[in-house]
Amino acid sequence: MTDPIDSSAGLQRRTLLQGTAGILATGIAPFVHAQEKIVLRYLGTAVNQDKAIAEKFKADTGIEIQYVAVTTDDVTKRAVTAPNSFDLIDTEFFSLKKIVPTGNLKGIDTRKIKNADKITTLFTKGEVAGKAVGDQGTAPKKVIYLEGEKSKKFATAPTQFMSLIPTVYNADTLGIRPDLIKRPIGSWAELLNPEFKGKAAILNIPSIGIMDAAMVVEAKGIHKYADKGNMTKAEIDLTIKTLIEAKKAGQFRALWKDFNESVNLMASGEVVIQSMWSPAVTAVRTKGIACNFQPLKEGYRAWAAGFGLPATLSGKKLDGAYEFINWFLDGWAGAYLNRQGYYSAVLDTAKAKMEAYEWAYWMEGKPASQDIKSPNGDLLAKAGAVRDGGSYEQRMGGIACWNAVMDENEYMVRKWNEFVAA
């Protein structure tokens, strides 16, 4: 503070040194950062935009990440309508059906991605440990490859160009308050069980909420969908009808749209069972409130997010974006995300940056040999606890369907509004 000019010069020199070190570490052609500071505008949802990740990346490479946090829907909207307003997009695979046909994304050259061939087979082949998982909905393997760098079409077989480089993914299920329910929950059908009248909630993001509803419909044996992620009009009608009947009977306490809303509903006890996201469950737990991310016999609804590059990105910023992606897959970020209950796309590198007991708890489904803490230092699980859903293979192997955009999307949204209005 005494001499601001000196200290900022010192900072520059230091970040510069670290920058070069970072480049050498990633093993790609050295870029000179001396002339200008690179700032990458990172568009995505708040959930994935962790301050610690940006800080660590800046310390490692000198490149600054500027987070632009919007909702899932707005990420898509900006990608379609304002592709020049960001340098790096973090979006979900199901949004690609809307974004890629606009030509606003550039295929990512996998030859420039050091760990490209180590990306988990879940994305490249739709397999976990050699076993195929459910591919209903927009499974990443259907949309991950592009025909060329400037292509507006998805490739059916692996190519050199990826639409998104996967970053985090998980499989969602119901969250429950075991202390208030006091009995085992084993099926999606419980969401509409009248026993929880006025104490249930469902996601109010139509394209995801309707998939959760479809899991319930199948679990109750009302209907078997050919593809829950791509329903016919009649199937949409049926699913919404089931929801409306439940709503009229007073089943739902609230619908939620936002990560924090779901945490508050659960933590305050307004709701005891609801569709939920894994980090939201973690958030409830860090408040000291019992909450389970309940594995269910019908399986999980999976989602996956990844980094994409806008078509107009070029020069230094493009190099910076590649550097960020390479850095991200290099382990530190992966380990950080794994400790939050997500899964990282390249498992080997993340494993190298995690303690053996952490890896055993988070990825192998083994009882924790010592207390498990979140990256912020909050206690998540005491020694001896086992992760909900077990190991990576059990959890990701149990995928029933993927978040999706349906062909009948417009009709579905209209019917969903009918549900909200009923």
The dihedral region occupied by 254, where left means phi > 0, alpha psi between -120 and 50, and beta the remainder, is beta
Select the span of 48-56, 157-165, 246-254, 392-400 touching other proteins (CB under 8 A).
246-254
State the number of CA atoms in the 13 A half-sphere of 175 facing the CB: 28
Q: Is 340 helix (H, G, I), strand (E, B) or coil?
A: coil
Q: Does 196 bind other proteins (CB under 8 A)?
A: no
Report how far residue 312's alpha carbon sits from residue 187's, in angstroms, rounded to the nearest whole number: 47
Q: Retrieve residue 348's tokens.
A: 């080997």
Which lies closer to other proteins via its Cβ, residue 109 or residue 147?
147
Report how far residue 157's alpha carbon sits from residue 349's, in angstroms, rounded to the nearest whole number: 26
Count residues near other proteins (CB under 8 A): 42
Q: Does 414 bind other proteins (CB under 8 A)?
A: yes
Residue from the set 182, 183, 224, 248 that interacts with other proteins by CB under 8 A: 248
Question: What letters, b where the CB count within 10 A reaches 16 and e where it falls short, cover 41-60?
Answer: bbbbbebbbbeebbebbbeb
CB of 310 to other proteins, least distance (A): 15
State the number of CA atoms in the 13 A half-sphere of 51 facing the CB: 1
Q: Does 281 bind other proteins (CB under 8 A)?
A: no
Q: Does 311 bind other proteins (CB under 8 A)?
A: no
Which lies closer to other proteins via its Cβ, residue 5 or residue 421?
421
Q: Does 194 bind other proteins (CB under 8 A)?
A: no
Q: Does 223 bind other proteins (CB under 8 A)?
A: no
Task: Identify the H or E element spanning 41.
Answer: strand 39-44
Q: Does 389 bind other proteins (CB under 8 A)?
A: no
Residue from the set 147, 227, 364, 418 that interacts with other proteins by CB under 8 A: 418
Q: Does 53 bind other proteins (CB under 8 A)?
A: no
Select the span of 31-39, 188-196, 265-273, 385-393 touching other proteins (CB under 8 A).
265-273
Q: Does 373 bind other proteins (CB under 8 A)?
A: no
Q: Does 253 bind other proteins (CB under 8 A)?
A: yes
Q: Retrieve residue 75's tokens.
A: 């990420």
Which lies closer to other proteins via its Cβ, residue 246 or residue 345?
246
CB of 78 to other proteins, least distance (A): 11
Which lies closer to other proteins via its Cβ, residue 210 or residue 345?
210
Output the CA–CA distances (angstroms, integers) from residue 15 to 28, 35, 63, 329, in the order listed.
18, 13, 9, 21
Task: Identify the H or E element spanning 356.
Answer: helix 356-362
Residue from the set 8, 102, 312, 376 that interacts with other proteins by CB under 8 A: 102
Q: Does 80 bind other proteins (CB under 8 A)?
A: yes
Tell me, rounded to whole angstroms, the distance of Cα 93 from its chain centroid: 9
Residue from the set 37, 41, 58, 77 that interacts with other proteins by CB under 8 A: 77
Report how far residue 294's alpha carbon sits from residue 285's, in angstroms, rounded to the nearest whole number: 14
Q: Does 252 bind other proteins (CB under 8 A)?
A: yes
Q: Does 84 bind other proteins (CB under 8 A)?
A: no
C-alpha gyration radius of the chain: 22
Report how far residue 38's alpha carbon sits from residue 409's, in angstroms, rounded to the nearest whole number: 39
Residue from the set 14, 24, 74, 129 that interacts with other proteins by CB under 8 A: 74
Least Cα distance to 311 among 155, 116, 108 occurs for: 108
Where along the sequence are the contacts to other proteins (CB under 8 A)?
71, 73-74, 76-77, 80, 97-99, 101-102, 198, 201, 204, 206-207, 241, 244-245, 247-248, 252-257, 264, 268-270, 405, 409-410, 413-414, 416-418, 420-422
